Amino acid sequence: MSNMYNHSEHIISAGLPKSSDYAQLKLAGVDTIINLIPHDCEWDRKNGFIADPKSARSSGLVHYTVAFESAEPVATMEHSIAVMDRLSFTEQDVLVHCAVNWRASAMVYFYHAIKNGKADKSELKPWGDLNEAFIESPSLKKFFKVIENHYGLTPAL
């Protein structure tokens, strides 16, 4: 998988797994997959980033889709928090993924910042240079600003 990052003992994020990766993930101890790729995202579809929940489930993994809606940052974050909270009580090993691990690492970063009251910018390592990433994707920069303002977080930059 591309751009994998270990956030904690139980949470990793990465780019989109191939259908053949799910069985290996299960053997490696992953219990649950959280897919953040929206169903109707033109960019993801155009670039071939289409999730495969059927392969994940047939490999014995629990699969959630928490569609990352850049136009609805707070609703997206609240949905993600609800799923992550539910899983945190089970101590399951979780892979959060999107296409290239920008959205996934951002959601884990924000989840930890909101829950711990402190952001750990190292969780954004999959982005490379954050300023350059924001130039490439202004909608993600806007997403960050809305979430930071809504939850009273220190800006990531």
Q: What is the pLDDT of residues 21-48, one digit of tens each?
A: 999 999 999 999 999 987 766 655 565 5
Q: How confident is the model at residue 157 (pLDDT cuts 50, 70, 90)?
A: low
Query: Which pLDDT band, with edges at 50, 70 and 90, does 155 fall under?
Result: confident
d(CA 113, CA 108): 8
> How crowded is the C-beta side of 97, counted as CA atoms within 13 Å?
28
On the question of pLDDT at 115 being above 60, the answer is: yes
In sequence order, which residues have a C-beta less than 8 Å from that of residue 82 and are 6 or more positions away?
none
Looking at residue 49, what is its pLDDT? Answer: 56
* Dist CA 142 CA 10 (whole Å): 29
How many percent of the chain have pLDDT more than 90? 57
Query: Is 19's pLDDT higher than 90?
Result: no
84 confidence band (pLDDT: 50, 70, 90): very high
Residue 17 gets which letter from DSSP? Answer: P
Residue 45 pLDDT: 59
